[in-house]
Amino acid sequence: MNIALIGSGGREHAICQKLYESPLTKNIYCIPGNAGTEKIAKNLNFDPLNFKKLLIAVRFYKIDLVIIGPELPLTKGIVDFLQTNNINVFGPNKYAAKLEGSKAFMKNICKKFKIPTAAFKICKNKTDVKKFLINNKLPIVVKADGLAAGKGVVICKTYKEVEKFSNEIFKGKFKSSKKLVLEEFLSGEEASYFLIVDKKSFAFFGSAQDHKRVGENEKGPNTGGMGAYSPAPIINKDLEKKIIQRIIEPTLKALKSKNNPYTGFLYAGLMIKNNNPYLIEYNVRMGDPECQVILPRLDTDLVKILKAATDNQINKIKINWKNKKCMTTVLCSRGYPGSYKNSQLPNIDNLKLSKNSFIFHAGTKLKNNLLFSNGGRVLNITEIGNNFSKIRKNILNNIKKINWKKGFFRKDIGWRVIKNIK
């Protein structure tokens, strides 16, 4: 098959690697891809939000399947556009992508179908905010309704903070929406649960935990993710049953009832408290960097799985997982998630890596055959093995070998699963 993959992050390099390993794959085209995908696929350097250009490329290269990595093209309707033009595509349509694209949409589904989630109020103005504040205790979580590149959520410890952040959103801080959602603060342990979904059925597609805060000991501002590990040990069989029955099934039913059945990867961000799951958010794609720790554990041909999904035959295949653990640490540009400068990276091609170590590129670019950073999250130093403690040691060793002076990373990825941290 000829496959096109939309996106340019570490998630897309990890997906691209699996596509590359499949005997069903003929050619891979990454739009636009990064320096990592360039080694195993052909990068097409244009903005995939230019749908017309995309369609021309898909026809020219005789693409049999288009896979959408990130959320933005999904919420803009890339799937609807390609399907209207009879192109085979994997991902949710514009309506279903509102599960991530609008927090208000997602919360209304929770309310209607009694899905466990934090108490909330959708607010359009200051009066709405005041009403919620009367009946709810601090801290209060303020969330921009629309996509906000990981910057749309603030956990507020004072009413003043709630008002300040709310007013910024009402004034149009985020272009995607001027609405917001106020939420009760949920305590517990977070975990991410993934599924692959077609019109008829769905299957488990891994669990993970990520570290969103920029600093060690979960300090500092939120980022897209500084590291992750899979599986998430907190997710046991009993909890999984509750996740499916109380959260996933009602959500899929809700979208079916609107004649927009969900298709694609679905990522449920959960808070676990007393072995009960609460939905914090949905993402309509694989996580980044969660994908980079889930796919190395996958033991079934990814292309076969995606083909089954677009044929609505997920229920006909068995998806196998290696009985292994996987972790990734994100090497970032100094300054991220604030401002940073792109710079040249050391040559990582000559590094001697064991067969259990992988480096997925995220924000990287080749210029005259030299490697440059091209974003805040630059490389994902990844390792698969049997023991999280040994895995992390090897990751830290590999980061030392890379020796990028302008980068930084968290040394404590996986602290929950590694006791006796040294």
Cβ 281 to ligand GLY shortest distance, Å: 8
172-211 positions binding ligand AMP, by CB under 6 A: 183, 185-186, 190
Strands of the sheet with 180-184, listed across from one edge:
120-123, 180-184, 140-144, 153-156
Give the C-alpha separation, 50 to 58, whole Å. Answer: 12
Cβ 56 to ligand AMP shortest distance, Å: 35
Strands of the sheet with 89-90, listed across from one edge:
42-43, 27-32, 2-7, 65-68, 89-90
Give the C-alpha separation, 194 to 321, whole Å. Answer: 13
Give the C-alpha separation, 366 to 333, whole Å. Answer: 16
Q: Which is nearer to ligand GLY, 22 or 73 (CB)?
A: 73
Residue 128 interacting partner from ligand GLY, ligand AMP, none (CB closer than 5 to 8 Å by kind): none
**One of 9, 287, 296, 363 touching ligand GLY (CB under 6 A):** 287
Residue 211 interacting partner from ligand GLY, ligand AMP, none (CB closer than 5 to 8 Å by kind): none
Map residues 191-210 to x or -, x wherever contact with ligand GLY holds by CB under 6 A.
-------------------x
Residue 225 interacting partner from ligand GLY, ligand AMP, none (CB closer than 5 to 8 Å by kind): ligand GLY
**One of 225, 376, 385, 407 touching ligand GLY (CB under 6 A):** 225
Contact partners, residue 66, CB within 8 Å, separation at least 6: 3, 4, 5, 6, 58, 82, 87, 88, 89, 90
Cβ 224 to ligand GLY shortest distance, Å: 6
124-153 positions binding ligand AMP, by CB under 6 A: 141, 143, 153
| Total interface residues for ligand GLY by CB under 6 A | 7
**One of 288, 307, 325, 364 touching ligand GLY (CB under 6 A):** 288
**One of 38, 80, 281, 383 touching ligand AMP (CB under 6 A):** 281
CA separation, residue 418 to residues 383, 410, 415 (Å): 15, 14, 5
Q: Which is nearer to ligand AMP, 208 or 314 (CB)?
A: 208
Cβ 43 to ligand GLY shortest distance, Å: 22
User: Which candidate, 69, 119, 8, places its Cα nearest to that of 264?
Assistant: 69
Q: Which is nearer to ligand AMP, 24 or 155 (CB)?
A: 155
User: Which candidate, 145, 102, 96, places its Cα nearest to that of 254?
Assistant: 96
Residue 290 interacting partner from ligand AMP, ligand GLY, none (CB closer than 5 to 8 Å by kind): ligand GLY
H or E, element range at 71: helix 71-75
User: Two tokens at 236?
Assistant: 């046991």
Alpha helices in 273-413, H assignment, sequence order: 290-294, 302-310, 388-402
Decide if residue 269 touches ligand AMP (CB under 6 A): yes
Give the C-alpha separation, 157 to 53, whole Å. Answer: 47
Residues of this chain that interact with ligand AMP (CB under 6 A) are 118, 141, 143, 153, 155, 183, 185-186, 190, 212, 269, 280-281
Positions that interact with ligand GLY (CB under 6 A): 210, 224-225, 283, 287-288, 290
